[in-house]
A and B are shown apart, each in its own frame.
Chain A
Amino acid sequence: MTPPTPSAAAPLEVTDESVVKSPTPTTNQGSESRSPGRLAWKRFKRDRAGVISACIVLFFFVIALAAPLIAKLYGKDPYTTYASQRPELLDAFSYPAGPNGGMSSEFWFGIEPQLGRDVFTFLLYGIRTSLGIAVAATLLTALLGIVIGITAGYLGGKTDYFVGRVIDILLSFPSTLFFIAFMPVIYGLFVAPDENIPTWLRAISLIIVLAGFGWASLARLLRGQVLGLREREFVEAAKVTGASPRRIVFKELLPNLWTPIIIQSTLMLPAFVTAEAGLAFLGVGMIDPTPDWGVMIQRGAQFYTEDITFMLFPGLSMVLFVLAFNLLGDSVRDALDPKSKR
């Protein structure tokens, strides 16, 4: 018998505590059902920090999605080097001529040093790119983790053993180092060394590499959960009535795994945002002129001694986003899994 692996998130506890305790259902309560999901939502709504973080996170996603629209209303784009038509925008050393990095009613967040692009739209599109990559990587990671973890846990035996060793190996890799080493290799698979790497290829490669290393921890967590759930009597009850393995996985197991999946994914996404930025910063992720959070920070690092303003916007916005998302992740965990609260 394999003991159920205790894990970070216990998915099964559907408890009431912290929501008004009701007596047994025999009391008259109308027919409103208190599903585990609804209870979690109720708990979440009472968590101030969670709600505020959720709003901030939502705000970022909205501006990322609406970036083209906002840029259109604002009347600029992230690619045009405005200083080449209007040299007066930059001074003799190619730094913004105006005060505060050239912030004005025309250029809200100022002008980029040297090339003279518009910082506001560059940031908008940068957030759009970064979030897009992070979201895609998170979805792919979750998908891989769910499929592999549940398969290993449910089938057990040799499959489980083999998957377990692969996970061990992946988790023992210094992944950051590996990203840096591996990105050029992946590019090399698709394009000759002297050719330009198209932006979409960079994005796809990033997503694949992030997900390729990211699925292991989720898969391991889910495998453990499935090993525990598989022995639960409700699964046996389903088997006794003749349920197919398909039905058991989708109807009996999966609904009990959404909690760890959601919790893990909310922790994963901000990690991917920073990883993606880190890779851009190191020059192996997205590169100029593609607007990207990491690219901006990397550019900013080149002139922050002279012009801190340019560094400020991408830096602060990223800190705000990652912080809010992590707080949101905590709140989501507390709401879904109240037992884990300290």
Chain B
Amino acid sequence: MSNAETLLDVSGLTKHFPIKGGFPISRTVGAVRAVDGLDFQVREGESLGLVGESGCGKSTTGRLITRLLEPTGGKVVYRGQDITHAGRKALAPIRSEIQMIFQDPYASLNPRQTVGKIIAGPMEINDINPAGGRENRVRELLEIVGLSPEHFNRFPHEFSGGQRQRIGVARALALEPKLIVADEPVSALDVSIQAQVVNLLQKVQQELGIAFVFIAHDLAVVRHFSQRVAVMYLGKIMEIADRDDLYDNPRHPYTRALLSAVPEATVEDTPRERIRLVGDVPSPINPPSGCRFRTRCWKATEKCASEAPPLVQVEGNKAGHLTACHYPETDDVPSPRLTKSPRAAA
């Protein structure tokens, strides 16, 4: 899949939310640097996982790609077309190709519309008239996502969270998109239902060949779903690699810490020591100088504070495995200040 055409090319993407303040005339007094220079590509039919703790800018990234938000800087190129600052009219033809699945299955469906209307809405807006009529297509979509076509006339409040998320998936599929941005599509669901929805998305991805940007806050969900994984921290990508490279050979301390939090059962190789990240994510209003992870990194040195590590293919990485760290992890040399918790606690 690695030689497929690049669908989405993001470079230097930034989003700073201005902070207004001051009295009586409000002015900009600062900025939330929610996304601060991202570079990544998504190839056709590929699923890219975007992982990071809460508040690190994952949703903002998703909204920038779907152009719900206007980027402050950088470039978003979709199939060779620069859509960074495209207006609603200019975006119109692309709208049907990039769709989104939202985190909250309760807020993402209009409570006053029937399921049929919700799913037919995108077709109506884009004036698409499938053979056999829109209603037929909606029934078809309902079947694809595992709901009964008879649910056509029902309202969202008559469904469970998992079912609603399936409706959201059906809506995203209605326009036969090439790329779907899924913003934590299962994190609001019961654990027992999460797997079902992930399986559905997987089926959709494989059978329809749709590329995904799959946002999640832990590495466990993404592992089954994504061919490539990017780890984000405070608006920047810390490490990006093919799935197996990342899980088997994490080079960034943060990736390592996240991986150690994944339940043992899903990690087949030798049990790792559990790394507890201490402290909170610093504020994106005033991120740490140099490496953003340094305030919580057990290997931080002077250099980390003064010099931001570039996202590069460090020594020992396979092609396409990029890491932003001055002192990448290696398996055989355990880091000096690594805090090991007793095995019993793991």
Chains A and B belong together in one complex: yes
Q: What residues of chain B lie closer than 8 Å to A1, measured between beta carbons? A: 17
In contact, B111 and A242 (Cβ under 8 angstroms): no
- Give the contact stretch, choosing among A170-178, A228-236, A296-304: A228-236
Which residue of chain B has its CB nearest to the CB of A245?
Answer: B88
**A233-B104, A234-B109 known; A242+B125 contact, CB < 8 A:** yes
CB distance from A247 to the nearest CB of B (A): 7
Residues of A within 8 A of B158 (CB): 22, 24-25, 34
Complexed CA–CA distance, A239 and B69 (Å): 11
A contact residues around B289 at 8 Å (CB): none
Give the chain B neighbours of A24 by CB distance below 8 A. Answer: 158-160, 163
Interface residues of A in 230-256 (CB under 8 A from B): 232-234, 236-244, 247, 251-252, 255-256
Taking a contact as CB atoms under 8 Å apart, the answer to whether A242 and B91 are in contact is: yes
Is A305 among interface residues, defined by CB-CB distance under 8 A? no
Chain B residues bordering chain A, tally (CB within 8 A): 41
Check if B66 is an interface residue, CB within 8 A of chain A.
yes
| B117–chain A nearest beta-carbon distance, Å | 9
From B102, B159, B163, contact of A237 by CB (8 A) = B102
Cross-chain contact A31 with B153 (CB below 8 angstroms): yes
Contact of B88 among A16, A236, A242, A251 (CB under 8 A): A242
Q: Are B155 and A240 in contact (CB under 8 A)?
A: no
In the complex with contacts A16-B157, A34-B158, A242-B110 CB distance below 8 A:
no
Chain B residues, CB < 8 A from A255: 110, 112-113
**What secondary structure prevails in chain A residues at the interface with B?**
loop
Given contacts A31-B153, A233-B107, contact A240 B95 (CB under 8 A): yes
State in angstroms the CA–CA spacing of A35 and B153 once bound together.
9
What A residues does B109 contact at CB under 8 A?
234, 237
Among A19-37, those with CB < 8 Å from B are: 22, 24-26, 31, 33-36
How many chain A residues sit at the interface, stated as a range, is: 20 to 34
CB 8 Å contact bits of A56-69 with B (1 = contact, 0 = none) = 00000000000000
When A237-B171, A241-B95, A256-B112 are in contact, do A15 and B125 touch as well, CB less than 8 Å?
Answer: no
- Asked whether B68 lies within 8 Å of A240 as measured between CB atoms, the reply is yes
Q: Knowing A31-B150, A234-B107, A240-B99 touch, does A15 contact B157 (C-beta < 8 A)?
A: yes
B154 close to A237 (CB less than 8 A): no
Residues from chain A with a CB closer than 8 A to the CB of B92 are 242
Sample of 13 A–B contacts (CB below 8 Å):
A14-B157, A24-B163, A26-B148, A234-B107, A237-B102, A237-B108, A240-B68, A240-B95, A240-B98, A240-B100, A241-B99, A242-B88, A256-B111
Q: Give the 5 A-B CB pairs with smallest separation, nearest first.
A: A242-B95, A255-B112, A233-B108, A241-B122, A33-B153
Given A12-B111, A33-B153, A234-B109, 16 more pairs with CB closer than 8 A:
A14-B112, A14-B155, A25-B151, A25-B154, A25-B159, A26-B148, A233-B103, A237-B102, A237-B171, A238-B121, A241-B99, A241-B125, A242-B92, A242-B96, A243-B125, A251-B113
Which residues in B have some Cβ–Cβ distance to A below 8 Å?
Answer: 17, 63, 66, 68, 88, 91-92, 95-96, 98-100, 102-104, 107-114, 121-122, 125-126, 148, 150-151, 153-155, 157-160, 163, 168, 171, 175
